[in-house]
Amino acid sequence: MRNWAGNLTYASTNLRRPASLAELADALAGSGPVRALGSRHSFNDVADTTGVHVQVDQLDDGRPAVDLDPATGVVSVNAGLRYGEVSRALEAQGRALGNLASLPHISVAGAVATATHGSGDANRCLAGDVVGLEMMTTAGELRRVTRADHPDVFGGTVVSLGALGVVTRVELATAPTFAVRQDVALDVPWDAVLGSLDAVTGAAYSVSLFTSWDEPAVRQVWFKSRVDDGVGVRPEPVAGLAWATTEVHPLPGVDPAACTPQLGAAGPWNERLSHFRLEFTPSAGEELQSEYLLPRASAVAAIEAVRALGPRVAPLLQTSEIRTVAADDHWLSPFDEDSVALHFTWHPRGAEVAAVLPLLEEALLPLGARPHWGKLFAVDAADLGALYPRFADFRELAARFDPEGRLHGGYLRRLLR
């Protein structure tokens, strides 16, 4: 069994997809290693195990898969659902999430467990919407942990890398639905971007910049603007922007059919905040990904550092994306302050990518960079925990939930040893 990108063959001996809580308890029974598996969009072995993999995408616990409480606006969802499925169900009920990642194809539990994110100066990572979790521990005990009732440990339970148990349901705060328009500016000079970075990233609800780092201009800037009056306006944070008059794809020369609608056409939040449509597979896994998250104060220095490496980086890239993320309070979230995210979508040339990652990290780690938990990086596990002030607290929490360490597999085993 392999991950979505095909660059990793899992070490597990079996895959269980329980249809009930009783079947899940049975899958967790015994003494061997076990690990939850989501939509397999991790590019490293953070979700791996030498024992049994458990997927909850077919789990029926007797409640609706998307269960909205109209009094509180909190929705409880099956943890194995994909964000695109959840967002459609919420839009049909007039509700919305705060943000979405680039891909709507990722599972809710897997995305929040690794601090996966979208973009926007005021938008937290996807874990920021979580107000509660239900999980089954390796002892077969079903536990519910909420921000309101368990403030002392809640910060360690959401971005948990699957170290505490198999998450069965995720409770998310929602807001009234809203519309979004998407406009794409082309070939924005680097001087204009770096000289007015706050204005550019703050010009819309969500902003993404696409580049290959060796280009004289930022190839595309995607502005996703809230439309609260039924019309909305196209932002213009710097003068003289050239706007796309036909829809575009983040990768040069690729058909944009898989992308969400652009050209200023307003539509529901769930059909604009992701870059890609749920009904399309944006690639067949023919890519590798890395991402580094840095303090917002280091944004310009980090961008300039990567631009200096452009001749080494660009030949391996399909594209690269710059996003912003607001701070949250999760212990293993890299967003303990407002941040900038530098994302790299590589060609599937594993050895060459592995060789360039240390160069990127030599430039970015001194600026406060931390890698995305589910993507490719070179930082040793022994050094990564030290980058998180509450890592010792997380290690202790993991030992309380899983005292035998049965959930320790792949990168997580090396991290917690």
Task: Say yes or no: 233 and 355 in one domain.
Answer: yes
Label the pairing between strands 179-189 and 166-173: unpaired
Q: Does a structural domain hold residue 317? A: yes
Ranges of the chain whose pLDDT falls below 50: none
Q: Does a structural domain hold residue 280? A: yes
The 3-state DSSP class for residue 260 equals coil
Could you tell me the two tokens for 338? Answer: 């407002």
Q: Does a structural domain hold residue 356? A: yes
Task: Say yes or no: 168 and 199 in one domain.
Answer: no
Q: What is the pLDDT of residue 281?
A: 80
- The torsion angle over the Cα atoms of residues 135, 137, 140 and 146, rounded to 10 degrees, is -40
Q: What separation in angstroms does the CA of 327 have from each of 123, 124, 205, 224?
A: 8, 6, 16, 20
Q: What is the pLDDT of residue 285?
A: 77
Q: State the CB neighbour count (10 A cutoff) for residue 58.
A: 12
Q: What CATH number has the domain bearing residue 167?
A: 3.30.465.10
Task: Say yes or no: 230 and 318 in one domain.
Answer: yes
Burial of residue 231 (number of CB atoms within 10 Å: 0-12, 13-18, 19+) = exposed
Give the closest residue to 250 by CA, choosing from 289, 193, 297. 289
Could you tell me the two tokens for 46? Answer: 């953070």
Task: Say yes or no: 157 and 140 in one domain.
Answer: yes
Q: State the CB neighbour count (10 A cutoff) for residue 358.
A: 13
Among 131, 161, 177, where does a domain finish?
177
Task: Say yes or no: 171 and 189 in one domain.
Answer: no
Q: What is the pLDDT of residue 229?
A: 74
Q: What CATH number has the domain bearing residue 289?
A: 3.30.70.2520
Q: What is the pLDDT of residue 274?
A: 98
Among 177, 205, 231, where does a domain finish?
177
Q: Does a structural domain hold residue 19? A: no
Q: Which residues pair with 217 in a beta bridge?
A: 189
Task: Say yes or no: 196 and 319 in one domain.
Answer: yes
Q: Are 46 and 10 in contact (CB under 8 A)?
A: no
Task: Say yes or no: 106 and 118 in one domain.
Answer: yes
In angstroms, the CA 411 to CA 417 distance is 10
pLDDT tens-place string over residues 4-33: 999 999 999 999 999 999 999 999 998 999
Diameter of the chain measured on Cα atoms: 65
The 3-state DSSP class for residue 147 equals coil
Q: Does a structural domain hold residue 268? A: yes
Q: Does a structural domain hold residue 220? A: yes
Angle subtended at Cα 249 by Cα 245 and Cα 253, rounded to the nearest 5 degrees:
95
Q: Does a structural domain hold residue 193? A: yes
Rg (CA), the chain: 21
CA atoms within 13 A on the CB side of 400: 10
Domain residues for the domain of 106 are 66-177
Residue 350: left if φ>0, alpha if ψ -120 to 50, beta else—which one?
alpha
Among 142, 177, 212, where does a domain finish?
177
Q: Does a structural domain hold residue 382? A: no
Task: Say yes or no: 123 and 265 in one domain.
Answer: no
Q: Give alpha helix (H) positions in 29-66.
A: none
Q: What are phi and psi of 239, to 5 degrees?
A: -70, 150
Q: What is the pLDDT of residue 417?
A: 85
**pTM, 2 dp:** 0.97
The 3-state DSSP class for residue 368 equals coil
Task: Say yes or no: 274 and 349 in one domain.
Answer: yes
In angstroms, the CA 367 to CA 295 distance is 8
Task: Say yes or no: 169 and 314 in one domain.
Answer: no
Task: Say yes or no: 136 and 184 in one domain.
Answer: no
Task: Say yes or no: 258 and 118 in one domain.
Answer: no
Question: What is the number of structural domains in the chain?
Answer: 2
Give the closest residue to 306 by CA, choosing from 238, 236, 214. 214
